Amino acid sequence: MLHDGILSEKVAILTSGGDAAGMNPAVKSAADYARKNGMEPYLVEWGLRGLIEGWIKPATTERLTGIIHRGGTALGSSRSKRFFEYQFREQAYNHLKELGISKLIIIGGDGSFRALNQFYVDFEVPFAGIPATIDNDISGTDYCLGVDTALNMIRSSVDCIRDTASSFSRAFVIETMGRDCGYLAMTSALATDADVCIVPEINYDLELIGERLREQREGGKKYILGIVAEGTGMGEPLTRWMGDALGMDSRLTVLGHVQRGGSPTVYDRIMAFKFAVAAVENLKAGETNKVVTFKDGSFGSSSIHDITDTKHECDPELIELVRGLSC
């Protein structure tokens, strides 16, 4: 395709790893902004597997219309073990070469970024990464796409559980996603006025928690809400403990993959647009192996090594705000 008489550069966009609300707005925004800047955008279906299989198509208006309000990823995603074998990376490179695609934009997590970094080492295909994971556990950025939508899904669920908890004077434990990161659990605990929060980042003391809750019960509190991060493995143990220590009918609700779904919030849609613009600008500037970051209210970029070689640490101010719910 010609743009102002010059053969335009081709860029392929893909989503990879766990799905997150905000991926679809990021895909559309990246394609639209790339086209406005003289690039010819393509879409890769089914993530890394799609690169290997050559499932790569032009980003047509028809393909991009009506996707920004949808949760998950309209392109599909996959975790391809084959991509970590050279022969399949070479196969993926050949597909890109046949189409004349010279750059990539990947929307996903640090595992996806590592995969494309190895791809660059092998074949020197530069990429820009957009962080998208509801766990919000990528180093170097304060925010990842999908987090706000996930938090609103959790908030809605906890509010519904509160209705039945208060109706029956029960204790409820709600388990959120998060693996080794308690961001979702901590933020949700504050936003829903939970009574207990158990996360990997904070040492908890059940004896002190019990004393505090029994005192609150004596003061007239009719129900208890506890929120735990899945990485602690405390969902069932805390539920049993509440029943034994507080003498209450206790129930566990594992929210699971409902947290990944839902129409992206306004915040996630706007952040997706801003992340996408920054990713295209990075590629235009000739940057390679950079991940777009949002830090202290500003957009920037970090090298893939800074992202993957640095252990993620949760906001210390958030941890301090929640600490009182763990003892």
The residues annotated with a catalytic role in the active site are 135
Q: Could you write out the three-class secondary structure of the chain?
A: CEECCEECEEEEEEECCCCCCCHHHHHHHHHHHHHHCCEEEEEECCHHHHHHHCCEEECCHHHHCCCCCCCCCCCCCCCCHHHHCHHHHHHHHHHHHHHCEEEEEEEECHHHHHHHHHHHHHHCCCEEEEEECCCCCCCCCCCCECHHHHHHHHHHHHHHHHHHHHHHCCEEEEEECCCCCCHHHHHHHHHCCCCEEECCCCCCCHHHHHHHHHHHHHCCCCCEEEEEEHHHCCHHHHHHHHHHHHCCCEEEEECHHHHHCCCCCHHHHHHHHHHHHHHHHHHHCCCCCEEEEEECCEEEEEEHHHHHCCCCCCCHHHHHHHHHHHC
